[in-house]
Amino acid sequence: MDRFIGFWESLGYNGYLLLVCAGLFLFRLINIIYCTVLVCRKEKSFSKNGKTGVSLIITANNKAEELQENLDYFLSQDYAPYEVIVVDECSEDDTQDVLAEMQQKHPALRTTRIFPDTKFRSTKKLAINIGILAARYDIVLFAEINSRPLSGSWVKAMASYFTPDTAVVLGYANYAAEKEKINFHRMYRFLRYLKMLLLVKGKSYVLGDGYNMAYRKSLYLTSKVFSRNSQSYAGYDNEIVRALSKAGKVKVAKNKNTFIEIKDSRKKTRSEDFTYYCFNRRRWELPVKLRANADNFLRMVFYILSFYLINVKILQNYMIIGVLLTFLMDFVTLNIYLKHLKQKKLFLTSFIISSIGFLYRWYYNVNSIFTNKKWR
């Protein structure tokens, strides 16, 4: 005991830093176990009832080529009753010709249009509203035309999550694993999905994904979600989740049949996707920001304190082991999540992101400040 007291006194103020480091390591370990249980926990069996009608709404602005490539995947879903509504947002290309040709082959396809001379500054929320008003069914499902479902049972799988008390169902969407250069963006979109899942489990409803989500038309009309903010592009998916969470449950789908693949690897698309997310994240309430970023912040503090204690040669070997264990826990659990959610393992990408990924996040956070006019 005297030896321990002598050692403690020799540390001075560094002893308190050592205690903080130990506490942060323990917190990280407990948090990883908690997150792993939430992500990997088996879902309850899905409803097999196919009688509930679903209206899929897709908005498109000058997307004639994408409509030709991807619309068939949405129209050939194994579900009934079901309809697809495409809202043309002021297109000036061949969108109308493509839609007219598609309607001849697919009676379930319905279309409507916002003409180019509209006075609205942003037509995204207007298009969503028009699509919802035109929907025949209470469950409205949303996707983007530069993506496609990975399963012919996508509509059925998303609809199966709806129970009488369900307001919103959020699905997973990520870039197609076609080119190595998009691995970082695929990983960050995967991490965003994980954050969405964990925030919903923690009763924080601030994240949505317009590429793959569904909600009830009746609740949308009652809540008047866009009545105060119809001219802004930003937040059209997040605002839905926040508003409708007050009227019913929000669920995050993990079934592989609910997955959407984004068929757009352009650098501009990936960059805008990330800056849009960063811009909207800055609008979160402070308690949600703290909850969402606490883990990354505390991990950074742990690394800083650990490297400081290693530098001043206080329990140097033990501190090095602690740093390596923390890094390995992050790396291993990330790949466990990928495997559980039937995603391609990205060992090298996850290794880099686990070590210096914060630099990438900071770049896009700063970049989103200078590009925020696009989303206002």
Of the candidates 280, 285, 199, 271, the residue with the CA atom closest to the CA atom of residue 238: 280
Instruction: Select the more confidently predicted residue: 127 or 177.
Output: 127
Angle (CA) 344-349-351 rounded to 5° is 115
Residues 275-289 have a mean pLDDT of 83
Residues 268-275 have a mean pLDDT of 80
Cα Rg, the chain, nearest whole Å: 24
| DSSP character at residue 129 | H
- On average, the pLDDT of the chain sits at 83
pTM: predicted TM-score of the whole model, two decimal places: 0.86
Burial 86-112 (b: 16+ CB within 10 A, else e): bbbbbbeeebeebbeebeeebebbbbe
pLDDT digits (tens, 9 = 90+) for 88-122: 888 888 888 899 888 888 888 999 888 776 555 55
Number of Cβ atoms within 10 Å of the Cβ of 8 = 11
Residues with Cβ < 8 Å from 363, sequence gap 6 or more? none
Give the lowest-confidence range in 13-22, 176-185, 230-239, 357-366: 357-366
Residues 53-63 have a mean pLDDT of 92
CB 57 within 8 A of CB 212: no
Torsional sign, CA 257, 259, 260, 265: negative
Residues with Cβ < 8 Å from 373, sequence gap 6 or more? none
CB 66 within 8 A of CB 176: no
For the cut 90, the answer to whether the pLDDT of residue 372 exceeds it is: no
CB 221 within 8 A of CB 365: no
For the record, the structure tokens of 99 come out as 């839609």
